[in-house]
Amino acid sequence: MNPTKHTLVALVSDRPGVLNRVASLFRRRGFNIESIAVGHTEQEGVSRMTIVVSGNSATVEQVRKQLDKVIDVIKLSDITQENIVDRELALIKVKTTPATRSEIIQIVDIFRANIVDVAPDSLIVEVTGDEDKISSLLNLLHSFGVKEIARTGRLAMTRGMPSSASG
Amino acid sequence: MKLTGAQIVCESLLKEGVEVIFGFPGGAILPFYDTLPQYPQLRHILVRHEQGAAHAADGYARATGRAGICCATSGPGATNLVTGIANAQLDSSPVIAITGQVARPFIGKDAFQEVDITGITLPITKHNYLVLSAAELATVFKEAFYIATTGRQGPVLIDIPRDVFVEQADFHYPAKVDLPGYKTILRGHPAQIKKATQLINQATCPVIISGRGVILSQAYDELRELAEKAQIPVVTTLLGVSSFPENHMLSLGMMGMHGTAYANMAVDSADLVIAIGMRFDDRATARVSGFAPKARIIHIDIDPAEIGKNVTVDIPIVGDVKNVLRELNKQVVSQTRVDWIRQLETWRQEHPSTTIREGEELIPQYVIHSIYEVTDGNAIIVTGVGQNQMWAAQHFCYKKPNSFISAGGLGTMGFELPAAIGVKVGCPEETVWCIAGDGGFQMTIQELATVVQERTAIKIAIINNGYLGMVRQWQELFYQRRYVATPLMGPDFVKIAEAYGIPGLRVKTRREVVPAIQKAMEEQGPFLLDFMVEPEENVYPMVPPGATLAEIIEGPKKEAVAPSTSFTVSNV
């Protein structure tokens, strides 16, 4: 069984320490978190966590069940196999020289990304997209020298279905 | 009407039917203690170390089936509860731990006696709370009791800052809880039950493994009906001991690392294993890859996360054991299994695991058996951890439901004395025997003062061999007898008991054993017996680490057993 990446969406009660509880659970059970993104939802008192976990299917099954046991976790879905929209935002600070600047700008345009900061020897690229898009852009920018990267981690939502908080 | 936080706590405890609290005071929890006299229905039992309070609450909960309550102050008081809370977590015991905390403005500032106890107990509680206003207290207590006592039971910690105890608020005890994230499945899925029934009806050599879940669910009658109706022999895990009467003809006793040879052989040869309220712990399964190689497995458990955690099963049924068994019993066909039962009886004759050798020496097995003989099994046995625990499980015939109380999951030495106090407080009419090793007894020996102050008439039997017995056994069998840090000096326990005001006797020969036990039983109050047993006695049978249940060692060999090659991989 090869380790694969699974995307879990957890709706949690917005009580103090809930992020800690979830993260603590992962550490204690030895599960590998690739990323967590948390934020409020359309329902008051409910937050949404999007967690990318890697492991084989037996491991991920245990992750799901152990997370379900956490009292503050209201609903948990593994949406890896479903029809989803997945997005991430990244800020990338790239080294620039007068010679390389226009080429970098062209690449940024092709990816429909934005330049949000310009300095004499660097600029910051803001890009939103799925994992493939961000990886491709990063690969291209690496050859120019990437000074700093900040990523939010994956956000995901199933297509066309009613809000999972009320479902 | 406005009440203080401390009053709200007391009112909430009364609403939940609490009668006893085991605790130790301190600065942060002082306002709560000051309020207690206003509530004489709440009996407070002062321990001598907070660990004793946690274990007493645990023992109380296990014996009565109700939540056990312990309380301590902030800082070291709270951290002293940690071992007891972890112990309750691993054995699914409903314990509520109330801790004082520094006042709200001081939280997070490394104040005097401040610790982040909610952070510390996150992985070892079913849930925990830091209550930041008196107005929330009633809801928190309602939720805490609900969480602790339903579904898969477990400990809940409530951390209350000192100024919240003092703050005033309206008291209204909620009728219901609102916990959208907490759902328990109590009824098994009918389709799964049907599939299980088919397997049971078709099996030729089935075996039931009964665990703590049967006791938590109080499903003794339902288990017995299933076993008798379908003629299925029953083995138990350590924590399942006393879930099924051991004098029943279908009982094969305990299985696992120190179970009977014939119980383990039954599991190893079965074509169907019905696992009820047990979680396939490594002490029970031995090497997992070799567990029940010929059997399909039905797993009945209230916790869905246990299904498939250690062992892949064929028919999982999530639900409360009592409910599921009731449904199964309606559908299971009544049948006889003469050949299988006969085979098991042959194995029992050929591989006797509980015979006690004759002789002059005072051996621990004889002590346990004598306690059984004198009480006729009419007692609750509370054990420590180690060799004493294993002998207590093996050589007492448990006929009464829930008469064996032992720290299995965490294996906490020192559990025995405070837990026995909790058991006796919860069941004052029962005879309670505390079986301790000389090592474990020294860990919570201070609770002898609690025994005297509260007049709890427990009988204490110390299996005194001058060693950390179980570790010494492993050192003998697997480390070429290098007894590092296991020879253990102890005090004159009879003198110590006397110093506390408890009568006692030292027993040095086999002849004195029964009369000494009788003397202890005649005594109205507590009594301590110090049994000076054979120092290098080993627990048999034994499944060595890395071996399967079939590779059980039934008795002493002349040479130490060579460590198995998979030694390092298994959980030692």
Together in a domain, B377 and B524: yes
Q: Evaluate if residue A41 carries a pLDDT over 90.
A: yes
* Cα of A6 to nearest chain B Cα, Å: 18
Give pLDDT, residue B557.
66
Residue B547 covered by a domain: no
Taking CB atoms and an 8 Å limit, are A71 and B126 in contact across chains?
A: yes
Q: For an interface test with B, which of A14, A20, A71, A166 has the most B Cβ atoms less than 10 Å from its Cβ?
A: A71
d(CA B452, CA B446): 11
Write out pLDDT tens, residues B375-402.
999 999 999 999 999 999 999 999 999 9
d(CA A89, CA A108): 14
**CATH hierarchy code of domain A85-155:** 3.30.70.1150
- We report the CATH number of the domain holding residue B133 as 3.40.50.970
A65 vs B118, B122, B304: nearest CB? B304
Quick one: which H or E segment has residue B273? strand B272-276
Together in a domain, B336 and B241: yes
Give pLDDT, residue A120.
93
Give pLDDT, residue B556.
83
Confidence of residue A60 (pLDDT cuts 50, 70, 90): confident
- Report, as an integer, the average pLDDT of A6-34: 88
Together in a domain, B17 and B139: yes
| Chain B residues with a Cβ under 8 Å from any Cβ in chain A | 118-119, 122-123, 126-127, 130, 147, 179-182, 303-305, 307-309
Q: Evaluate if residue B559 carries a pLDDT over 70.
A: no
Nearest to B152 by CA among B236, B91, B83: B91
Taking CB atoms and an 8 Å limit, are B181 and A61 in contact across chains?
A: no
B181 vs A24, A66, A73: nearest CB? A73
Together in a domain, B238 and B104: no
- Report, as an integer, the average pLDDT of B443-448: 98
Domains held by chain B: number: 3
Q: Evaluate if residue A167 carries a pLDDT over 70.
A: no
Residue B159 covered by a domain: yes
- Report, as an integer, the average pLDDT of B70-84: 98
- Report, as an integer, the average pLDDT of B23-51: 98
Confidence of residue A160 (pLDDT cuts 50, 70, 90): confident
Nearest to B535 by CA among B488, B498, B478, B485: B488
Residue B561 covered by a domain: no
Give pLDDT, residue B558.
41
Asked whether B302 and B199 are in contact (CB, 8 A), the reply is: no
Residue range(s) in chain A whose domain bears CATH number 3.30.70.1150? 85-155
Q: Evaluate if residue A1 carries a pLDDT over 70.
A: no
Residue B179 covered by a domain: no
- We report the CATH number of the domain holding residue B317 as 3.40.50.1220
Taking CB atoms and an 8 Å limit, are A71 and B122 in contact across chains?
A: no
Give pLDDT, residue A163.
55
Q: Evaluate if residue B568 carries a pLDDT over 90.
A: no
Give pLDDT, residue B127.
97
Q: Taking a contact as any Cβ pair under 8 Å apart, which residues of chain A between 77 and 136 contact chain B?
A: none
Q: What is the ipTM of this complex?
A: 0.86
B435-447 residues labelled b (16+ CB within 10 A) or e (exposed): bbbbbbbbbbbbb
Taking CB atoms and an 8 Å limit, are A69 and B303 in contact across chains?
A: yes
Model confidence, pTM:
0.93
Omega before B541 within 30 of 0, i.e. cis: yes
Mean of the per-residue pLDDT values for chain B? 95
Quick one: which H or E segment has residue B193? helix B190-202
3-state secondary structure of B130: strand
DSSP string, chain A: ---EEEEEEEEEE--TTHHHHHHHHHHHHT-EEEEEEEEE-SSTTEEEEEEEEEE-HHHHHHHHHHHHHSTTEEEEEE-TTS-EEEEEEEEEEEE--HHHHHHHHHHHHHTT-EEEEEETTEEEEEEEE-HHHHHHHHHHHHTT-EEEEEE---EEEESSPPPTTT-
Together in a domain, B501 and B382: yes
Cα nearest neighbour of A13 on chain B: B181
* CATH class of domain segment(s) A4-78: alpha beta
A61 vs B180, B303, B308: nearest CB? B308
Together in a domain, B141 and B119: yes
Taking CB atoms and an 8 Å limit, are B309 and A20 in contact across chains?
A: no
Write out pLDDT tens, residues B259-279.
999 999 999 999 999 999 999
Is the sign of the CA dihedral B21, B36, B501, B522 positive or negative?
Answer: negative
Q: Evaluate if residue B565 carries a pLDDT over 70.
A: no
Residue B182 covered by a domain: no
Give pLDDT, residue A11.
96
Residue B60 covered by a domain: yes
Give pLDDT, residue A166.
44
Taking CB atoms and an 8 Å limit, are A13 and B122 in contact across chains?
A: no
The count of residues in chain B is 572
Q: Evaluate if residue B31 carries a pLDDT over 60.
A: yes
Domain limits at B415?
Answer: 364-532
Together in a domain, B377 and B471: yes
Residue range(s) in chain A whose domain bears CATH number 3.30.70.260? 4-78
Residue B307 covered by a domain: yes
Q: Evaluate if residue B564 carries a pLDDT over 70.
A: no
Residue B486 covered by a domain: yes
B20-50 residues labelled b (16+ CB within 10 A) or e (exposed): bbbbbbbebbbbbbebbeebeebebbebbbb
- Report, as an integer, the average pLDDT of B420-426: 98
Taking CB atoms and an 8 Å limit, are B182 and A71 in contact across chains?
A: yes
B305 vs A20, A28, A66: nearest CB? A66
d(CA B103, CA B28): 8
> Going by C-beta distance under 8 Å and a sequence separation of 6 or more, which residues neighbour residue B501?
B452
3-state secondary structure of B377: coil
CB-defined contacts A:B, below 8 A: 39
